[in-house]
Structure 1
Amino acid sequence: MRTPARLVALTSAALLTTGGATLAVAPTASAVSMPSKCQYAWNTPHYAKTTAVVNLRTGPSTSYSSKGNLSKRTRFTHYCIAYPHGKNWAWGKVTSGPNKGKRGWVYYKYLTL
């Protein structure tokens, strides 16, 4: 059985206990060290899947080298975007498949909820 990404985030989050009640606090996007190329950071991570086979790149453009291919429906959690030359690129972490754990850039057009 698969564990939903949000449950994993809560599992790795800090727990606060007050008066017998426990409150889970999920990490914010600011808790992740983001590259300087990010132009807009989300308040919370965005969970997505790829819509086609795409490259995970070292930077927000096709001029950057590929870190590997992500298969269609690979899960990708993104924390910020950059838009060089009017193209949206998302930076984040691969959360499924052979490249799981790698961080990099994916062209935003190929991501969906």
Structure 2
Amino acid sequence: MKIRNNIVRALAASAFGLTLTAAGIATAGTATAASLPKACKGNVWVEPQKQVADTAVNLRSGPGTKYTSKGILYKNTRFSEYCTNWNYNWGYGKVASGPNKGKWGWVSTFHLHY
């Protein structure tokens, strides 16, 4: 009986630890997702995807050509993509090189590669 009680306690402690771990992961993911735009309905990356512009492309204030340009990413400009819109055509992230380095915005994924 004593062995059975010890096993039950050990299993309960393990389950409680896993619950806390899962809650911590969920909280961390929620905090990251909360800081992203609402248009991030496609992929949301745990680590930003390191992309490079294939050609000159606009950095936009939203996911589409109707949004204003915040600057141009020239060919070979690095871009850290954090998420995509619902149809994966636009990536949101931070410019990592060039004259617009540090700016956040949306870029057409058709003009980016890994």
TM-score, length-scaled by structure 1: 0.68
Structure number with greater Rg is: 2
Taking a change above 3 Å as real, the CA distance of residues 87 and 77 of structure 1, as seen in their structure-2 partners, is closer
* Corresponding residue SS for 2:50: strand
| Equivalent-residue separation in structure 1 for 2:59 and 2:95 (angstroms) | 9
Q: 2:56 aligns with which of 13, 28, 53?
A: 53
Per-residue deviation, residues 6-64 of structure 1 (Å, max 9, x unmatched): xxxxxxxxxxxxxxxxxxxxxx8927821111113112210010000000000000000
TM-score, length-scaled by structure 2: 0.68
Provide the residue aligned with 1:65 in structure 2: 68
| Equivalent-residue separation in structure 1 for 2:34 and 2:60 (angstroms) | 18
| Equivalent-residue separation in structure 1 for 2:34 and 2:49 (angstroms) | 13
Instruction: For structure 2, list consecutive stretches of 5 or more residues without a partner in the other structure.
Output: 1-28
Higher helix share: 2
* Corresponding residue SS for 2:94: strand
Taking a change above 3 Å as real, the CA distance of residues 63 and 87 of structure 1, as seen in their structure-2 partners, is farther
Q: How many angstroms does 1:95 deviate by?
A: 0.6
Segment of structure 1 superposing worse, 29-38 or 55-64: 29-38
Taking a change above 3 Å as real, the CA distance of residues 34 and 87 of structure 1, as seen in their structure-2 partners, is closer
- The share of aligned pairs that are identical, in percent, is 49
**What does 1:73-112 align with in structure 2 at a 5 Å threshold?**
73-83=76-86, 86=87, 88-112=89-113
Say what the alpha-carbon RMSD is for the aligned residues: 2.2
The count of aligned residue pairs is 85
